[in-house]
Structure 1
Amino acid sequence: MSALIAIQPALAERLAGLAMQVLIDEADLSPKPGLVDRRGNGAHRDLHLGLMHASARSLWPTFSAMAEAAQAEGQVSQALREAVGRLGREGETEMLRVTGGVNTHRGAIWALGLLTAAAALEGNTSATAIAMSAAALARLEDPAAPHNPNSHGARVCRRYGVPGAREQAQHGFPAVIEHGLPQLLTSRRDGAGEQNARLDALLAIMSQLTDTCVLHRAGLKGLNRMQQGARAVLDAGGAASLAGRRQLRELDRDMLALNASPGGAADLLAATLFLDRLAPATTTNGSN
């Protein structure tokens, strides 16, 4: 691990700015099935694009503080895990203040917080190395973390026996490293255009993820439709193709009818864009 011994405020600010920007980029990306985007509120009654932007901006100090904490500690440690947890909870409190109590980015604070801290530790390296460092941090217990067995995510994981956001992080973000990033790079190389490449990356994540947000809102029926529909778009040629767009419209229609919003996949798309921006136009192992 190439730990950074001296605190570099400019690096912390750059990483925080990047984390904030990818949240805005994710929100703006359109058309996303069931999600808030430039067209409207998706399957949500309490969210809109302006609120998503305000929430993202409110988290800049949180991500900056996490990066600074990682630089100060210099390695994955129990102390850093507890600092990241504390800063994340403080960031969530500020987010909820800004949004009037609406949960806009709780999952993103977890995923991007870990990745921001890991990026501050790892420096200029591969996406896989940053994800593995974040995973090592996520596997450490935070004694101060509140235990809420009745949260939506916890209840869904128990009911369906599926992993959630915690396990995704603890295993090194496989939805990002094995699906989101490879699809993003492939679609770019195929000339899809940046917005379509990002949509394809989201769909690649959706096609594999057991999204607890969808399970909470629409059960297994919603999850199966999300996964199968996302794969159908990609199999038809992706978001850049006419056939793929038709499949995407059908998926969006069905997700809205099911009141299903793939918020977990959206958080992981933001993580995908974060890692991509740290090492653009490279594969996940750092080779060209």
Structure 2
Amino acid sequence: MRALKLHELSLADRLADMAVDALIDEADLSPKPALVDRRGNGAHRDLHLRLMHASALSLWPMFKEMAEAAIEFGEVGLPLREALGRIGRDGEQAMLATTGGVNTHRGAIWALGLLTASAALAPRAITLTAARLALLNDRYAPQPLSHGAQVEQRYGARGAREEAQLGFPAVTQRGLPQLHKSRRQNAGEQNARLDALLAIMTELADTCVLYRAGTEGLQTMQHGAQAVLDAGGSATLAGRRRLHELDNQLLALNASPGGAADLLAACLFIDRLDGAL
């Protein structure tokens, strides 16, 4: 059997590849504060890098199906939104089957699922299209009181749903601009991606951190991330010292910024899509 050539891949195949690549790039990026990376499992007892890779790969069929659904429906509307919800729930079950019940990428299924479908519909207006989809209510979605929902009720924090409904401002206003700025400053690709993560962390009300460590954890994350950038970013010695301090502080609080990690994956997906365009 001959090898499949890149130009023979469908649009849905290519978008699924980009989504999975973004998840794997996010997981591999090191050193991330209190997150799973090449050094270890961060603040997580049930996660490790191999599991994150396996989880990402298990979601490839889901991302492809979401892109295909967007192409088939051809427009933003309730039929597409509910199709994406069904596909996402099936994808979550496939993920849990792969990970033995561990939630590795539930937040990324929401964010990258919307973005993958939006890229198939309108690649030059991806976040606007994703926002329009997120504003539609899936009548068939279950309503469990997730960790994010509990945090939203307790702290009034903007969760993943509202972040998408607003067009992913943490990505478009913080992550992507910082990624491009650090690249222009020749920080190196890995440092530029770390800086993008930190920029997202400076203002995000990360529900993962709030659930684990409350407002103390959130303030530690936001102020610590800003301190790294103020010190010159991940490419500088002073910035690396601040990053090491932030890592230790979040580990002591058992606070892992999983919401920021999901949005970094979204940032890398959009960046890769922009390069392809």
TM range, smaller chain? over 0.9
Instruction: Give the superposed CA RMSD.
Output: 1.2
User: Would you say 1:267 and 2:269 are equivalent positions?
Assistant: no
User: Would you say 1:161 and 2:156 are equivalent positions?
Assistant: yes
1:280, distance to aligned residue in structure 2 (A): 2.8
Identity %: 70
Runs of 4+ in structure 1 deviating by more than 4 angstroms, as ranges, are none
Matched ranges for 1:63-78 at <5 A: 63-78=63-78
Secondary structure, counterpart of 2:187 in structure 1: coil
- Structure 2 unaligned segments of length 5 or more: list them: 1-7
- Between the aligned partners of 2:35 and 2:255, the Cα distance in structure 1 is 9
TM-score of the superposed pair, with normalisation by structure 2: 0.96
Match of 1:5 in 2: none
1:9, distance to aligned residue in structure 2 (A): 6.7
Which amino acid in 2 is paired with 1:242? Answer: L
- Between the aligned partners of 2:158 and 2:9, the Cα distance in structure 1 is 36
The superposition leaves residues 267-287 of structure 1 with CA deviations (integer Å, 9 ceiling, x where unpaired) of 000000000001139xxxx9x
Matched ranges for 1:125-274 at <5 A: 125=124, 129-148=125-144, 150-274=145-269
The answer to whether the Cα contact below 8 Å between 1:27 and 1:52 also exists between their aligned partners in 2 is yes
The superposition leaves residues 180-217 of structure 1 with CA deviations (integer Å, 9 ceiling, x where unpaired) of 00000000000100000000000000001000000000
Q: What is the total number of aligned residue pairs between the two structures?
A: 270
Secondary structure, counterpart of 1:279 in structure 2: helix
Secondary structure, counterpart of 1:185 in structure 2: helix
| Structure with the higher helix share, 1 or 2 | 2
- Between the aligned partners of 2:60 and 2:251, the Cα distance in structure 1 is 31
- Between the aligned partners of 2:37 and 2:157, the Cα distance in structure 1 is 28
The superposition leaves residues 63-120 of structure 1 with CA deviations (integer Å, 9 ceiling, x where unpaired) of 0000000000111010000000000000000000000000000000000000000000
The superposition leaves residues 226-271 of structure 1 with CA deviations (integer Å, 9 ceiling, x where unpaired) of 0000000000000000000000000000010000000000000000
- Determine which of 253, 259, 272 is the counterpart of 1:277: 272
- Structure 1 unaligned segments of length 5 or more: list them: 1-7
User: Would you say 1:106 and 2:106 are equivalent positions?
Assistant: yes
Which amino acid in 2 is paired with 1:158? Answer: Q
